[in-house]
A and B are shown apart, each in its own frame.
Chain A
Amino acid sequence: MVKEQWDWEIRPGAEPIFKTIPELFRYKDLLNSLIKKELTASYQQSIIGVAWLFFQPLLTTIFYFIVFGRIVKVDTGGIPPLLFYMLGSILWSFFNDCLVGTMYTFMHQAHIFQKIYFPRLIVPLAIVINHSIRFSIQFLLFLFVYFGWSFIYGGLSISFSILLIPFLFLQLLMLAMGIGLFISVFISKYRDIEFVVQFLVRLFMFVSPVIYPASMVPKEYQTIYWLNPLTPIFEIIRSLFFIHQSFEVSRLMPSIIFTLVIFSYGLVVFQKREKIVMDVV
């Protein structure tokens, strides 16, 4: 008997990733409308609407400036404190939002996943793209303030290495998404993980150079401190804007390797479990 040709087949177990990628392209319109939904829905029925996108980093910056700049008197290493905290808080909230957003994929979309099939990866993709758009807008705000500052007070200049920045953003995104994907498949079964992760992420901010520069860390902890994959990303982005000294790319390598590993591992785990996770939600 001639083996018949079928368009699709359903088997137990995971879909290989090379089959998922063309499928993601077929669902690109869904990706678009999910991103649109996230963007429009989140600021409906709020009085100042999209202006929150600007207020949030500005208020955080002022708060950090008062608490860490004036009260705790953190030494920002010659960087204007306002700009220091603004860049730190925008970067951190991008990382935090991507991670937390991705990790709720199954929990928040359970009602849809139980009724309709589409490649599940669309949802975390829509979430990180949505946060990237917000981040880009906030980053433009930072650039605006940065150039304004530079115009008034002078002393700031940008080198061509600034072109590296998109790659660093991408790395930050992949790191957050990888961790988020990995957690998302477990969080739906054990809700405890949700609280543990929320808690750890909050603490993690304090061991990353968000509100203080890495140079403040005592010498004996420096090696460990630079093992934190966020440390080189934050430090390098900052130095591109303010310090201009050449940095050693080698310091970034462990972080890049860690990012690639956690991203692909998160993807594999997500892919492997996406079909069975819904049985236990």
Chain B
Amino acid sequence: MRDKVIIAENISKQYQLGILNSSSLKRDLEGFWRNIFRKQSTQISNGDLDKNSIWALKDIFFSISQGDVVGFVGHNGAGKSTLLKIIARIAAPTSGVVYGRGTIASLLEIGTGFHPELTGRENIYLNGNLLGMSKNQINDRLDAIIDFSGVEKFIDTPVKRYSSGMYVRLAFSVAAHIDPNILIIDEALSVGDTAFQQKCIAKMKDVSSQKDKTILFVSHDMNSVQQLCTNAFWLENGKIKAEGKPIDIVNQYLSFAKNATLLKEFKNDTETPGNEFVKIQRVELKQINAIGEAIINVHTALQLSVEFIMALQKPESIMVELLLFTYSGSTVLDIFSPITEMGNGLYDLKFSIPANFLNDGTYFISLEFFNKKAESLFKFQNCVFFEVVDDKDTTSEWYRKCWAAVRPNFPIQITQHT
């Protein structure tokens, strides 16, 4: 049996909601006096503060063995990042204990602490030290870091003169060369251009193939979780909902996430997205011709329908712009609706994405409404958010990750000359 490197027992984390007023000052002062005069325990008694606080994590138990590559999936706010922050010692748990073995480094962001006035080389040292490397370790790896980053020509230039691409390359390069026993990564892969992302994935695979390295990995990209991880946890509302093989966990999560996010109806007025001109009523992303299939894969045809109420003084010509983005924010589509005369009333917008068009990954769609004078009436930023998975067997020898934003089935043929 492999050694356990992390054991978490009964971890809970409570956050005070950010209400800052005279009563919170009063409470702090009271606590302060109590501490001075009575030496009371500072443990927050339950019930006392329940109204103004939330439990980001509740009673989490788990253990991780050496060499595991563990993926954490779940919705935003499910507690994934909080959990990793506790293991990385950035946030303290409210109760519970984590035991661990070996050195640990966290990559919750790359380029943390980079100073614009310092040169690339100086920043390598500063950032490397922050990530827990000693000066000697950096000296040993300096050439490799500079080489991997591909910015050797500018290494003695202040990084404020770098392009954002160069900056990210250098930052990732430092991160890729830290060599802890346990590595914590949060979304650090969704950076840079695709060519660089490939390099990063390759590096991750390289690290994870070393049998003694343990990686904890939070991502919204279900593909990376499936490709890189040896097991996975699914967190929901601060609790572990399931754990097991990445492929099972990802499928369970996606089929759950589908129902939760692909149909949104806004009934009461307070949460309706919109303003005095436009009010969104309902958003749905449907799979066309799906037979009991729960998960959107690259062969699924999709239809987005949005119901909205227009409230205009007099009828006007309206155009709706639809944007489709990848998770990392690059624009895949920018489509203009036909110009439509609209007044007061309920309208329907329908948009279709054919099968065999999107690549695997996470996408989101936003809508913006314009009048004839090209003034924006309303921007619906996060209209819908969805994941597309690859249908291929990722373990097959023939499997190649497709790196484009889209993957249309354009014909390609190879024939032999006779």
Contacts and interface: CB of A to CB of B under 8 A. Distances in A.
Contact of A44 (B15, B100, B101, B158): B158
Interface in B376-407: none
A111 B131 CA distance: 14
Interface residues of A, number: 37
Nearest to A31: B129
Which of under 10, 10 to 19, 20 to 34, or 35 or more describes the interface residues of B? Answer: 35 or more
B107 to A, nearest CB: 9
B122 interface: yes
Interface string A1-20: 00011111111110000000
Interface in A129-163: none
B18 to A, nearest CB: 7
A259 B390 CA distance: 65
Interface in A1-56: 4-13, 27, 29-30, 32-34, 36-37, 40-41, 44-45
A112 B130 contact: yes
Given A44-B158, A114-B90, A117-B90, A7 B126 contact: no
A190 interface: yes
Contacts of A280: 16, 18
B122 A9 contact: no
Contacts of B260: none
A113 interface: yes
B278 to A, nearest CB: 36
A28 to B, nearest CB: 9
A12 B94 contact: yes
Given A40-B117, A41-B117, A116-B112, A12 B95 contact: yes
A130 B336 CA distance: 57
Contacts of A37: 115, 118, 122, 126
Nearest to A34: B126
Contacts, number: 106
Interface string B80-119: 0000001111111111111111101010110011010110
A29 B125 CA distance: 9
A275 B113 CA distance: 19
A30 B43 CA distance: 33
A165 interface: no
B25 interface: yes
A36 to B, nearest CB: 7
Nearest to A190: B25
B179 to A, nearest CB: 15
Contacts of B132: 118
B20 interface: yes
B99 A12 contact: no
A213 to B, nearest CB: 37
B131 A9 contact: no
Contact of B99 (A6, A113, A190): A6
B42 interface: yes
A10 B86 contact: yes
Contact of B130 (A13, A36, A118, A276): A118
A272 to B, nearest CB: 8
Contacts of B16: 279-280
Interface string A167-178: 000000000000
Given A7-B101, A44-B117, A116-B130, A12 B88 contact: no
Contacts of B241: none
A111 B132 CA distance: 17
Contacts of B34: none
A73 interface: no
Given A29-B135, A40-B118, A115 B106 contact: yes
Interface in B7-41: 15-16, 18, 20, 25, 28
A8 B129 CA distance: 20
Contacts of B101: 5-8
B125 A33 contact: yes
B268 to A, nearest CB: 31
B344 interface: no
26 contacts: A6-B100, A8-B104, A9-B98, A10-B86, A10-B97, A10-B100, A11-B97, A12-B94, A12-B95, A12-B96, A29-B133, A29-B134, A30-B129, A30-B130, A33-B129, A36-B126, A45-B117, A115-B90, A117-B88, A117-B89, A117-B106, A118-B132, A189-B28, A275-B92, A278-B91, A280-B16
Given A8-B101, A11-B93, 5 more contacts: A12-B92, A33-B122, A44-B117, A116-B130, A189-B20
A-B pairs with lowest CB-CB distance, top 3: A275-B92, A30-B129, A117-B89
Interface of B: 4, 15-16, 18, 20, 25, 28, 42-43, 86-102, 104, 106, 108-109, 112-113, 115, 117-118, 122, 125-126, 129-135, 158
